[in-house]
A and B are shown apart, each in its own frame.
Chain A
Amino acid sequence: MTARADLLTTAPGPGLRARARRGRLGIVAALVFVGILALLVVGSRTGDVVPLSTENSRAAGTRAVAQILRDHGVEVRQVDRLGQARVDDPSATTVVIANPYLLTPSQLDSVVRYPGDVVLLGSSDESLAALGVDAREAPVLLPRTVDAACADPDASAAGTAVVSDWGLVATGDSAELCFLDGDVAAFARATSAGRTVTVIASTPLVTNAQLDREGHAALAIRALGRHPDVVWYVADGFDASLLATPGSGGGEAPTEVEATPDLLPPGTGSALYALALTALVAAFWRARRFGALVAEPLPVVVRASEATRGRARLYRRARATGRSAASLRAAAALRMGRRIGVPRSEDRATLVNAIARAAGRPAQDVDRMLYGPAPADDAALLTLISELDALESEVHRP
């Protein structure tokens, strides 16, 4: 049995309070961080910027007209999805649809089936045709102020209005077109099957920016405030839900269409979800280290030949053929002299003669190789080095 005294154990960890005291700064920092994060999240909730939305107080919004309608006792309710409209009494409700060109065909069908009054802010050929307004849309190049010039009471009351952006051109006679600039109208109204469809094609009329010009306010309030309830929907192209039509199909109509991949067996989604959670658990399992890494103090790694290689690069950049050749000649002479026993202190002629004798070559040849002019370029350097190599191999031949 081993004595307990020489065994090392982990010291009991500090208590919660001690840990909190030690990590006070960290806790404060974390709290501050969370606070800043919360502030940022709250602060970043900028106002509604959707054009024609009743919550939008900017130039392109319609908050002003909604405010005025509310002041006149009209209940204005904006819905994010068409399916949330849930109109209880179509005869006392105006459904306002902004940007109808973004409605899906099925949404448009649901609007057509809806029995109550509808106001379109903006237009599209499909929606006009579906709702029985004999007109097509046409662009307006220059805004112009025009008179109502029609029999519609709302338009007459408004007097004048600006035709801008988009207008309507009549294709039949089912609709009453007002504020005509040439043959392009800013406003149209058609009554069919007991309901009125009003089209304000020049949408800038009802925006905050232009509501106070000409007779826009009168026109908007009269056109939109016919009933005590207004349901306001801005189409955005992402919403696929349908307008509920009370009475059709015994009350509640389908409000949402959800795409379900029916290729996969049921429960696949939740199984994948469970697997994803398992992957998180597995990540924690693998990420928890069995103790810390141990640091290794590494030595300096410098190769001894670095300096020589640096010098080689300098020679190359300067194309120092002469210097390279001189070094190689001297080194070759040193090696050959050592081989045939000529000490370094001997003069040039002695060394040349000794090498010439050993290699069996003329002395002038050897003298030119060892002491001749410096080569001018790479090719000459290569030739000289090959000659030196050949000479050296002859001298070193056993």
Chain B
Amino acid sequence: MHITGWTVALAALGVVPATLTQSRGVAFGWVLAVIALALLDAWLAPPTAAVGVRRDTPASVRLTQTTRTSLLVANLGRRRIRGAVRDAWQPSAGAGDARHRFSLARGETATFRTPMTPTRRGDRHAGAVTIRTDGPLRLAGRQRSLEAPARLRVLPEFASRRHLPSRLRRLREIDGRTAVQLKGAGSEFDSLRDYVIGDDVRAIDWRGTARRGEVVVRTYRPERDRRVVVVLDCARLSAARVGDAPRLDASIEASLLLAALASRAGDRVQATAFDRVEQARAASSGPALMTELAEALATVEASLVEPDWPALVRLVGSRVSQRSLVVLLTTVDTSALDSGLIEAVAALQRHHQVLVGSVEDPELGAMIADRADADALYGAGAAARALLEREAVATRLRQLGAEVVLALPDDLAPAVCDRYLALKAAGRL
């Protein structure tokens, strides 16, 4: 049961007879009468069971984009029903005005659309649908809620996709397929062509020259059909916030951009999110990869456990047999010394090329540069110490032959892609 503002207004009208008769009894009696009238009205209101609802929710939406969920309301009763519905969602689903008034004749339906701009990645769930039906006097009515489960999957924002065109251009330059006259880099033999002045003499193919009678050179192109394994560490350290978002979000951006780039470059990409066990996986080929990856990574959340690096090494070993690029998106800091990251990188590096990507904290930089007062000096000292320790770990990883990319959250995705392109150009994949 609920009452409307009209009941309150009617109760307030009791001031007039109370003032005229100067009697509290009259005021009390008036309010009692109003309440009795409201109760009668609520009793006369159509039952909420006469209202049928159905939620139609889009399957997924990218973070920061706006979508609309619709709620169909049908009058299943015999009389006209006036009332309202509330289409409740989690606050982070960003549902706008979720209350809708309706007036439906018998058998009529209406569809209400609620705009939604989600503010968090992952699955956003709907709350109950609450139905209010008004009584004939509009004073009061019935109210009931019913569970109408619905889910909106919010995909990662992929804000780094703005870096994709420039990286694709670089890829074409490496590939030698660009309109600009640039020699294709890489190590894989592509074809023979006539020598033109300016070509590297080391590229002359003497056997072909002898056969043809003209000087010919070999052209190369980057290797294709290499395997790229992207591993997102979603354990304890990924939960820490850098700026506004957890480290994991920067890792997701990086893996999305790298997957988009590498699949265009003709490499086979698979991704896995891992803490102690595999949390999500995407291994499609072709254009389906990006959709699958976004879906898989949408619901990955950082968990407060230590990562199990030896298990990850076994997992990678079981997934790829030939030499691949293993991209570890994790956190490089002193905890890597005892968490087993270094041993894992060493083990992976034996068979594969490892690229370790780590998010740097801009706050550390600010702390190092802070000279505000004596306390800030100690902060600078502590931040410098943290920086040195991380640098030491990074050096250790580099000594193992791994590539290490340390970048601020927004720069991690392009930095990892640049390193990938450099490796590709150098033929080290």
Contact A270 B27 (CB under 8 A): yes
In the complex, what distance in Å separates the CA atom of A312 from the CA atom of B378?
5
In the complex, what distance in Å separates the CA atom of A302 from the CA atom of B247?
11
Q: Does A10 contact B (CB under 8 A)?
A: yes
Contact A330 B84 (CB under 8 A): no
When distances are taken between beta carbons in the complex, the residues of chain A under 8 Å from B359 are 304
In the complex, what distance in Å separates the CA atom of A4 from the CA atom of B74?
9
In the complex, what distance in Å separates the CA atom of A266 from the CA atom of B22?
7
Least Cβ–Cβ distance between B124 and chain A, in angstroms: 9
Least Cβ–Cβ distance between A380 and chain B, in angstroms: 11
Contact A269 B367 (CB under 8 A): no
Of B7-15, B58-66, B416-424, the stretch lying at the interface with chain A is B7-15
Contact A311 B386 (CB under 8 A): yes
In the complex, what distance in Å separates the CA atom of A325 from the CA atom of B15?
78
In the complex, what distance in Å separates the CA atom of A301 from the CA atom of B5?
42
Q: Mark B73-112, 1 if CB is under 8 A from A, else 0.
A: 0101000000010101111100000010000000101000
Contact B367 A305 (CB under 8 A): yes
Q: Does A398 contact B (CB under 8 A)?
A: no
Contact A328 B380 (CB under 8 A): yes
Which of A10, A271, A313, A385 has most B Cβ within 10 Å?
A10
Which residues, 258 to 281 on A, are CB-close (under 8 Å) to B? Answer: 266-271, 273-275, 277-278, 280-281
Give B111's nearest chain A residue, CB to CB: A2
Q: Does B163 contact A (CB under 8 A)?
A: no
Contact B31 A277 (CB under 8 A): yes
Least Cβ–Cβ distance between B6 and chain A, in angstroms: 10
Contact B381 A278 (CB under 8 A): no
When distances are taken between beta carbons in the complex, the residues of chain B under 8 Å from A270 are 18-19, 21-24, 26-27
Contact B240 A302 (CB under 8 A): yes
Contact A303 B363 (CB under 8 A): yes
Q: Does B385 contact A (CB under 8 A)?
A: yes
Which residues, 1 to 22 on A, are CB-close (under 8 Å) to B? Answer: 1-2, 4, 6-13
Contact B54 A11 (CB under 8 A): no
Contact A269 B72 (CB under 8 A): no
A267 in contact with B19 given A6-B54, A278-B31 (CB within 8 Å): yes
When distances are taken between beta carbons in the complex, the residues of chain B under 8 Å from A314 are 382
Q: Does A346 contact B (CB under 8 A)?
A: no
Q: Does A323 contact B (CB under 8 A)?
A: yes
In the complex, what distance in Å separates the CA atom of A318 from the CA atom of B87?
57
Contact B144 A311 (CB under 8 A): no
Contact A267 B5 (CB under 8 A): no
Of A146-154, A225-233, A285-293, the stretch lying at the interface with chain B is A285-293
Q: Mark B46-68, 1 if CB is under 8 A from A, else 0.
A: 01111111100000000000000
Contact B361 A305 (CB under 8 A): yes
Contact A8 B379 (CB under 8 A): no
In the complex, what distance in Å separates the CA atom of A382 from the CA atom of B380?
11
Least Cβ–Cβ distance between B75 and chain A, in angstroms: 10
Q: Does B131 contact A (CB under 8 A)?
A: yes
Give A12's nearest chain B residue, CB to CB: B49
Which residues, 297 to 323 on A, are CB-close (under 8 Å) to B? Answer: 299-309, 311-316, 320, 323
A385 in contact with B30 given A266-B22, A270-B24 (CB within 8 Å): no
Q: Does B35 contact A (CB under 8 A)?
A: yes
Least Cβ–Cβ distance between B246 and chain A, in angstroms: 7
When distances are taken between beta carbons in the complex, the residues of chain B under 8 Å from A11 are 49, 146
A interface size (C-beta, 8 A): 68
Q: Does A324 contact B (CB under 8 A)?
A: yes
| From A266, A303, A324, contact of B241 by CB (8 A) | A303
In the complex, what distance in Å separates the CA atom of A334 from the CA atom of B368?
14
Q: Does B2 contact A (CB under 8 A)?
A: yes
Q: Does A378 contact B (CB under 8 A)?
A: yes
Which residues, 379 to 399 on B, are CB-close (under 8 Å) to A? Answer: 379-388, 391, 395
A305 in contact with B146 given A291-B128, A324-B381 (CB within 8 Å): no
Contact B241 A281 (CB under 8 A): no
Which of A4, A7, A270 has most B Cβ within 10 Å?
A270
| From A288, A308, A381, contact of B386 by CB (8 A) | A308
When distances are taken between beta carbons in the complex, the residues of chain B under 8 Å from A304 are 240-242, 247, 359, 361, 363
A-B contacts counted at CB < 8 A amount to 237
Contact B130 A290 (CB under 8 A): yes
Least Cβ–Cβ distance between B115 and chain A, in angstroms: 17
Which residues, 374 to 395 on A, are CB-close (under 8 Å) to B? Answer: 378, 381-382, 385-386, 389
A331 in contact with B388 given A9-B76, A305-B361 (CB within 8 Å): yes
In the complex, what distance in Å separates the CA atom of A381 from the CA atom of B88?
58
Contact B145 A292 (CB under 8 A): yes
Q: Does A171 contact B (CB under 8 A)?
A: no
B interface size (C-beta, 8 A): 91
Q: Does B219 contact A (CB under 8 A)?
A: no
A300 in contact with B3 given A7-B53, A309-B379, A331-B368 (CB within 8 Å): no
Which residues, 329 to 345 on A, are CB-close (under 8 Å) to B? Answer: 330-331, 334, 344
When distances are taken between beta carbons in the complex, the residues of chain A under 8 Å from B301 are 299
Q: Does B28 contact A (CB under 8 A)?
A: yes
Which of A273, A305, A314 has most B Cβ within 10 Å?
A305
When distances are taken between beta carbons in the complex, the residues of chain A under 8 Å from B388 are 327, 330-331, 334
When distances are taken between beta carbons in the complex, the residues of chain B under 8 Å from A316 are 374-375, 378
Contact A327 B385 (CB under 8 A): yes
When distances are taken between beta carbons in the complex, the residues of chain A under 8 Å from B8 are 278, 281-282, 285
In the complex, what distance in Å separates the CA atom of A344 from the CA atom of B396?
12
In the complex, what distance in Å separates the CA atom of A293 from the CA atom of B99?
14
In the complex, what distance in Å separates the CA atom of A344 from the CA atom of B7?
81
Contact B12 A278 (CB under 8 A): yes
When distances are taken between beta carbons in the complex, the residues of chain A under 8 Å from B107 are 1
Q: Does A294 contact B (CB under 8 A)?
A: yes
When distances are taken between beta carbons in the complex, the residues of chain A under 8 Å from B128 are 291-292, 294
| From A285, A288, A308, A385, contact of B377 by CB (8 A) | A385
Least Cβ–Cβ distance between A353 and chain B, in angstroms: 22
When distances are taken between beta carbons in the complex, the residues of chain B under 8 Å from A277 are 11, 14, 27-28, 31
Q: Does A238 contact B (CB under 8 A)?
A: no
Contact B146 A8 (CB under 8 A): yes
Q: Does B34 contact A (CB under 8 A)?
A: yes
In the complex, what distance in Å separates the CA atom of A379 from the CA atom of B131?
70
In the complex, what distance in Å separates the CA atom of A284 from the CA atom of B18?
22
When distances are taken between beta carbons in the complex, the residues of chain B under 8 Å from A291 are 86, 88, 127-130, 145
Contact B3 A323 (CB under 8 A): no
Interface of A toward B, CB cutoff 8 Å = 1-2, 4, 6-13, 266-271, 273-275, 277-278, 280-282, 284-285, 288, 290-296, 299-309, 311-316, 320, 323-325, 327-328, 330-331, 334, 344, 378, 381-382, 385-386, 389
* 28 contacting pairs across A/B (C-beta < 8 A): A8-B53, A9-B52, A9-B76, A10-B144, A10-B146, A267-B19, A270-B18, A273-B27, A273-B28, A274-B19, A274-B31, A278-B8, A278-B31, A281-B31, A281-B34, A282-B8, A291-B129, A293-B127, A294-B91, A299-B301, A300-B239, A305-B367, A311-B385, A312-B367, A312-B381, A325-B381, A327-B384, A331-B384
Given contacts A10-B51, A308-B383, A381-B377, 15 further A-B contacts (CB under 8 A): A2-B54, A2-B109, A7-B53, A9-B51, A12-B49, A270-B26, A271-B27, A278-B8, A285-B7, A294-B128, A296-B90, A296-B92, A299-B302, A304-B363, A331-B387
